[in-house]
Amino acid sequence: MHPARLWKGNDDGSVQCRLCSHYCAIDPQGIGKCGVRTNREGSLYTLVFDKVAALNLDPVEKKPIYHFHPGTQSFSLGTMGCNLFCSFCQNDALSQTPKLGGRISGETVTPQQIVQAAKRYRAHSISYTYSEPTVFFELVQDTAVLAKQEGLKNILVSNGFMSPACLKELASTVDAINVDLKAFSERFYEELCGAQLRPVLNNLKAIRKLGWWLEVTTLIIPGWNDSMEELRELTRFIVAELGPEVPWHISRFHPANRMWDCPRTPVDTLEKAYTVGREAGLLYVYLGNVPGSRLENTFCPGCETQVIDRKGFYVSKQSLRGGRCNECGQRIAGVGLA
Least confident of 166-175, 204-213, 256-265: 256-265
> Could you report the per-residue pLDDT of 208-217, keeping only the tens digit for each?
999 999 999 9
With cut-offs at 50, 70 and 90, classify the pLDDT of residue 99. Answer: confident
Q: What is the DSSP string of 3-23?
A: E--SEEE-TTS-EEE-SBTT-
How does pLDDT run across 1-19, given as a tens digit for each residue? 899 999 999 999 999 999 9
* pLDDT value for 254: 93
The full 3-state SS of 124-176, as one line of letters, equals CEEEECCCCHHHHHHHHHHHHHHHHHCCCEEEEEECCCECHHHHHHHCCCCCE
Q: How far apart are the first and last CA of the chain?
A: 44
pLDDT digits (tens, 9 = 90+) for 223-264: 999 999 999 999 999 999 999 999 999 999 999 999 999 999
Q: Which helix (H) or strand (E) holds 285?
A: strand 285-288
Instruction: Please name the CATH architecture into which domain 54-296 falls.
Output: Alpha-Beta Barrel (3.20)
Cis status, amide bond into 64, omega within 30 of 0? yes
Question: What pLDDT sits at residue 102?
Answer: 86
Backbone angles phi, psi at 183, to 5 degrees: -170, 180
Does residue 284 have a pLDDT over 90?
yes
Average pLDDT for 55-64: 97
Domain boundaries, the chain: 2-46, 54-296
